[in-house]
């Protein structure tokens, strides 16, 4: 941080008006840890760290079977792209194939199409135009553990998300090869995982036919230049830029073009949000309109400071983090040292894809000793800004409000 | 008419066959190393599919087993018998404190929606176990406010 100690004059003026200060509480990503503390308001907050999963590095163990593995926040401080071996993992059912033969693998395309297809990986790797796109994959329930009042569901911290460069072929090109019949309304996706109880609902998700053909939805066979880890969906995963992870079907081997709206459990009943702008209802609310979860909203996090960390007062410090714009690029990220009374703009580093993370940074000073809440909020190019108050819904989905961590200046 | 071969003829044929086998194998210590390699050779290289700039190799992995059981408490046997087939105990143990009513809905969701094979008569015991666990979690959370490290 030496080159950032020389804060410009106007920045210094900002610092006096605000309460920023010296920093010693950098996250320590290299430190071996056996326990992670997610800092969830209602607890329990401690989780084991694990390296027991194939093709994965140190992850926060939420659940062994079926695997739920969370990315430690420190990983997001290392860069805007999340390494494959640190990318979060989430499966609904425990029947997950552990062997994939790339010669035998086939992707079926069927339903309301002129020519049903059975595509090999060679067909996909060699027979169609190649595309690559950076996009964030975020679980609908990311940050659920911070919901207050508490809600049931996977008790994630903020690490059920990741950003990668996804390489593959356009879904549109595959659908065109099959020839979508007039009257098609949706396209349904299913992977190779299966319910433990055979009568349980197989995991399937659907997109509208127009969305499926928009040219941005990808069938990805590589992330960050390499094959996907098996637990992230090897050999093929659906990429739906700007949309929550629930649509990003892993181990994708079945595409069905539907001539009627999908009424399967995972579309009709699960992953439903209150049908309003911030997916927000009072905890006592009943009988409100719902909609299937879809697009993501702007969010931002501080990545080089941790909750409760000690910083030294009176010296310039460097604060940085990541932001996401949802369906639009990140336009600005502001930081507040006083719960939103004053906001200060941060510097944005270059955008590496509008659907990806963007790093922000600021050099600042906390003149006074004491606890300082640091809040960051993102505004996207659509003019959408994170609210100061958190939304609430019973599923613990699509948390949207600006995040605050409290550091101690001393 | 076929005639059964005489015993001396059979013995000599067997001797010749054994001799050929022994010659083929060679004396101990003089066996070509490739035979040992063959005995201990790794499985064949995984099959692969290549396109421009990318090769996908067949993958075979082992996922960790979860031997964990629910911690002791009233009705622990019932929850261990019913609630470990589909998911690890940690799924329930890491939940925030939830009311007995919410736990009841969760257990019913497992039965009705996800088709978990749970006998209706076991439901009250499972809910009681989980509600008691939530009471302990709530007590622990208020006793020690979390100090995150991640």
CA angle A183, A250, A290 (to 5 degrees): 60
How far is C-alpha B135 from the geometric centre of its chain's CA atoms? 33
Query: How far is Cα A399 from Cα A140, in angstroms, rounded to an integer?
Result: 8
Give the separation between CA A157 and CA A141, rounded to whole angstroms: 9
Is the CB of B43 inside 8 Å of chain A's CB atoms? no
Cis bond before residue A40 (omega within 30° of 0): no
pLDDT band at B40 (very low <50, low <70, confident <90, very high): low
Least confidently predicted of A212-226, A259-273, B13-27: B13-27
Shortest distance, CA A13 to any CA of chain B (angstroms): 32
Q: Is B35 helix (H, G, I), strand (E, B) or coil?
A: helix
- Tokens, residue A373: 């809440």
Element holding A355 (H helix, E strand)? none
B-chain CB neighbours of A125 within 8 Å are: 49-52, 54, 56
Selecting from A68, A98, A130 the residue whose C-beta is nearest the C-beta of B60 gives A98
pLDDT at A298 over 50: yes
Q: Hey, which residues does A180 pair with through a beta bridge?
A: A113
Question: From CA B61, how far away is CA A214, in angstroms rounded?
Answer: 35
Residue A99 distance to chain B (closest CA, Å): 4
**For A246, phi and psi rounded to 5 degrees?**
-55, -25
> Which of A21-30, A123-132, A141-150, A305-314 has the weakest average pLDDT?
A21-30
DSSP per-residue letters across B53-79: TEEEEPEE--PPP----PPSSTTHHHH
Closest residue in A to B90 (Cα–Cα): A63
Of A103, A200, A230, nearest to B59 by CB-CB distance is: A230
Residue of chain A with shortest Cα separation from B54: A226
Contact with chain B for residue A307, Cβ under 8 A: yes
Q: How high is the mean pLDDT of chain A?
A: 92
Which residues 70-129 of B are in CB contact (within 8 Å) with A? Answer: 85-88, 90-91, 93-98, 102, 106, 113-117
Phi, psi of B146 (to 5 degrees): -65, 140
Give the ipTM: 0.89
Three-state DSSP at A295 gives strand
Decide if pLDDT at B144 tops 80.
no
* Residue contact A130–B52, C-beta within 8 A: yes
Per-residue pLDDT at B29 exceeds 70: no
Neighboring chain A residues of B51 at a CB cutoff of 8 Å? 122, 124-126, 130
Where residue B17 falls among pLDDT bands split at 50, 70, 90? low
The secondary structure of residue B120, as a DSSP letter, is G
CA distance A289 to chain B (A): 21
Name A368's bridge partners. Answer: none
* Paired tokens of A330: 């990140």
What pLDDT sits at residue B141? 72
User: What pTM was estimated for this model as a whole?
Assistant: 0.86
**Using CA atoms, how far apart are residues B41 and B98, in angstroms rounded to an integer?**
55
Angle between helices B123-143 and B100-112 (to 10 degrees): 130
- Beta-strand ranges (E) seen in A68-195 are 68-70, 89-90, 99-100, 106-111, 117-120, 131-138, 161-170, 186-191
> Is the alpha carbon torsion for A18, A19, A23, A28 positive or negative?
negative
Taking CA–CA distances from B116, the nearest residue in chain A reads: A197
Tokens at A115, concatenated: 């020519």
Confidence of residue B8 (pLDDT cuts 50, 70, 90): low
* Whole-number Cα distances in Å, A10 to A7, A14, A42, A340, A363: 8, 6, 41, 20, 11
Residues B22-31: what's their mean pLDDT?
Answer: 48
CATH numbers and ranges of domains, chain A? 1-270 (3.90.420.10), 299-409 (2.60.40.650)
Which strand (E) or helix (H) includes residue A208? strand A204-208
**Are A159 and A71 contacting, i.e. CB atoms less than 8 angstroms apart?**
yes
| Mean pLDDT score, A47-73 | 98
CA A86, A30, A37: angle at the middle one, nearest 5? 70
Q: Which of A39, A101, A102, A199 to mutate to test the interface with B (most CBs of B within 10 A)?
A: A102
pLDDT: which is higher, A309 or A12: A309
- Band (A286; pLDDT cuts 50, 70, 90): very high
Residue B11: predicted pLDDT: 58
Residue A150 forms contact with B (CB below 8 Å)? yes
User: Pick from A37, A60, A150: which is nearest to B97 by CB?
Assistant: A150
User: Residue range B60-83: average pLDDT?
Assistant: 96
CB B111 within 8 A of CB B124: no
pLDDT in tens, A171-229: 999 999 999 999 999 999 999 999 999 999 999 999 999 999 999 999 999 999 999 99
Q: Which of A33, A37, A62 sits opposite B146 (nearest CB)?
A: A37
Written as six digits, the tokens of A118 are: 């059975």
Q: Beta partners for A402? A: none
CA angle B22, B26, B27 (to 5 degrees): 100
Q: Is the pLDDT of residue A9 over 50?
A: no
User: B64 CB near a chain A CB, below 8 Å?
Assistant: yes
Q: Is A371 on the interface with B (CB under 8 A)?
A: no
| CB within 8 Å: A43 and B48 | no
């Amino acid at each position: 941080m030496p080159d950032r100690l020389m804060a410009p004059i106007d920045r210094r003026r900002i610092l006096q008006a605000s309460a920023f200060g010296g920093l010693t509480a950098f996250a320590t990503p290299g430190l071996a840890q056996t326990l992670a503390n997610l800092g969830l308001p209602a607890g329990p907050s401690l989780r084991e760290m694990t390296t027991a999963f194939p093709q994965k590095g140190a992850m926060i163990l939420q659940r062994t079977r079926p695997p739920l593995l969370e990315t430690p926040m420190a990983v997001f401080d290392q860069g805007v792209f999340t390494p494959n071996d640190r990318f979060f993992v989430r499966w609904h059912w425990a029947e997950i194939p552990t062997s994939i033969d790339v010669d035998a693998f086939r992707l079926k395309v069927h339903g309301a199409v002129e020519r049903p297809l059975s595509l090999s990986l060679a067909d996909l790797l060699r027979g169609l135009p190649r595309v690559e796109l950076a996009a964030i994959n975020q679980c609908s329930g990311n940050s659920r553990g911070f919901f207050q009042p508490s809600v049931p569901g996977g008790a994630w911290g903020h690490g059920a998300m990741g950003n990668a460069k996804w390489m593959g072929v356009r879904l549109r090109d595959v659908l065109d090869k099959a020839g979508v019949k007039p009257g098609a309304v949706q396209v349904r996706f299913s992977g190779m995982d299966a319910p433990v109880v055979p009568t349980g609902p197989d995991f399937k998700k659907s997109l509208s036919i127009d969305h499926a053909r928009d040219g941005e939805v990808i069938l990805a066979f590589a992330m960050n230049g390499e094959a996907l880890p098996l637990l992230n969906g090897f050999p093929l995963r659906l990429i739906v830029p700007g949309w929550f992870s629930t649509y990003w079907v892993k181990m994708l081997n079945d595409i069905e073009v539907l001539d009627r709206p999908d009424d399967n459990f995972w579309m009709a009943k699960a992953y439903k949000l209150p049908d309003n702008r911030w997916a927000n209802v009072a905890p006592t609310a009943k009988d409100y309109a719902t909609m299937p979860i879809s697009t993501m909203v702007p969010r931002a996090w501080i990545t080089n400071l941790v909750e409760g960390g000690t910083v030294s007062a009176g010296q310039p410090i460097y604060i940085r983090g990541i932001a996401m714009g949802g369906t639009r690029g990140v336009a600005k990220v502001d930081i507040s040292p006083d719960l939103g009374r004053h906001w200060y703009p941060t510097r944005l580093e270059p955008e590496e894809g509008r659907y990806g993370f963007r790093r922000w940074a600021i050099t600042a000073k906390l003149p006074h000793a004491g606890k300082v809440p640091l809040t960051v909020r993102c505004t996207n190019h659509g003019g959408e800004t994170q609210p100061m108050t958190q939304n609430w819904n019973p599923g613990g989905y699509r948390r949207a409000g600006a995040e605050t961590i409290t550091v101690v200046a001393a | 008419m076929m005639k059964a071969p005489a015993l001396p003829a059979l013995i000599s044929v067997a001797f010749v066959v054994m001799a050929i086998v022994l010659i083929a194998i060679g004396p101990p210590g003089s066996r070509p190393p490739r035979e040992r390699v063959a005995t201990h050779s790794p499985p064949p290289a995984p099959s692969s599919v290549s396109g421009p700039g990318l090769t996908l190799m067949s993958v075979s992995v082992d996922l960790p087993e979860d031997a964990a059981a629910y911690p002791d408490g009233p009705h622990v046997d019932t929850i261990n018998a019913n609630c470990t087939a589909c998911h690890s105990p940690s799924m329930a143990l890491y939940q925030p404190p939830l009311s007995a009513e919410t736990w009841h809905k969760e257990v019913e969701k497992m039965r009705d929606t996800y088709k978990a094979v749970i006998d209706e008569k076991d439901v009250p015991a499972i809910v009681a176990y989980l509600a008691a666990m939530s009471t302990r979690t709530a007590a622990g959370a208020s006793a020690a406010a979390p100090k995150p490290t991640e």
